[in-house]
Amino acid sequence: MSIYNYLVQKPNNEILSMQTYRDQVMLIVNTASQCQFTYQYEDLQKLYTRYQHQGLTVLSFPCNQFGEQNPEDGQTSAAQCKLQYGVSYPVFEKVDVNGATAHPLFNYLKHEVPCADMERETMQQKMLHAHIQEHYPDYLLTPNIRWNFTKFLVDRQGRVVQRFEPDTSLLDIEQAIEALL
């Protein structure tokens, strides 16, 4: 299988092939409108604005599996992202990323790159780990996605090359993107 074999749904119910993004570097992110990491919408927009003309696209997939932090549908999520954060990259229909109802694209992404151990150096990392361990212990098992704003970097050939946890520095992500452009 290749990433280009998957179909995704836009908020207007249009089905789109991942072939649409062939020959582009993709940063695929599961997002949530009411998460502590929502500031990353603006960071993702900055990356998209800076590198879109060099072939980067950011693809946002709202997800409500982590603390029910995205209760609205994809259409409302897309509108909120545009209005509140100036997002101009594609926002898709809401998906599940873990479990039996996980979207096939995210099952593919999770199994293409290894999941690093969850860092617990900063207070934010410790608090997030403790929260997940208490409320969603299965999400700590690899290869599950642990929380909102997990990012997958895909190269121009469609290979998933790296996974970034929600608290990964934007600088580290930007350097990885630049290496592929």
- Identify which of 161, 176, 82, 49 has the alpha carbon closest to the alpha carbon of residue 114: 161
pLDDT (tens digit per residue) in 51-76: 999 999 999 999 999 888 678 888 88
- Looking at every residue in the chain, the average pLDDT score rounds to 89
Is position 128 within any domain? no
CB atoms within 10 A of CB 62: 28
Residue tagged active-site, from 35, 63, 81, 115: 35
Model confidence at 48: pLDDT above 90: yes
Is position 58 within any domain? yes
User: What is the maximum alpha-carbon separation in the chain?
Assistant: 43
Is position 156 within any domain? yes
Average pLDDT over residues 166-177: 89
Is position 141 within any domain? no
pLDDT (tens digit per residue) in 91-148: 999 999 999 999 999 999 999 997 766 666 666 667 666 766 777 677 666 788 888 9
Q: Kindly state the tokens that stand for 54.
A: 């060099």
Is position 13 within any domain? yes
Is position 132 within any domain? no
Is position 137 within any domain? no
pLDDT at 104 (0 to 100): 97
The Cα–Cα gap between 30 and 20 comes to 19
115 annotated active-site:
no
pLDDT at 140 (0 to 100): 64
Write the CATH number for 74.
Answer: 3.40.30.10
Entry pTM:
0.89
pLDDT at 70 (0 to 100): 79
DSSP annotation of 31: E
What's the domain range around 71?
A: 3-116+147-176
* Domains contained in the chain, number: 1
Long-range contact set of residues 72-81: C-beta below 8 Å, sequence gap at least 24: 72/33, 73/11, 74/9, 74/10, 74/11, 75/11, 75/12, 77/11, 77/31, 77/33, 78/11, 80/33, 81/31, 81/33, 81/41
Is position 136 within any domain? no
pLDDT at 100 (0 to 100): 94
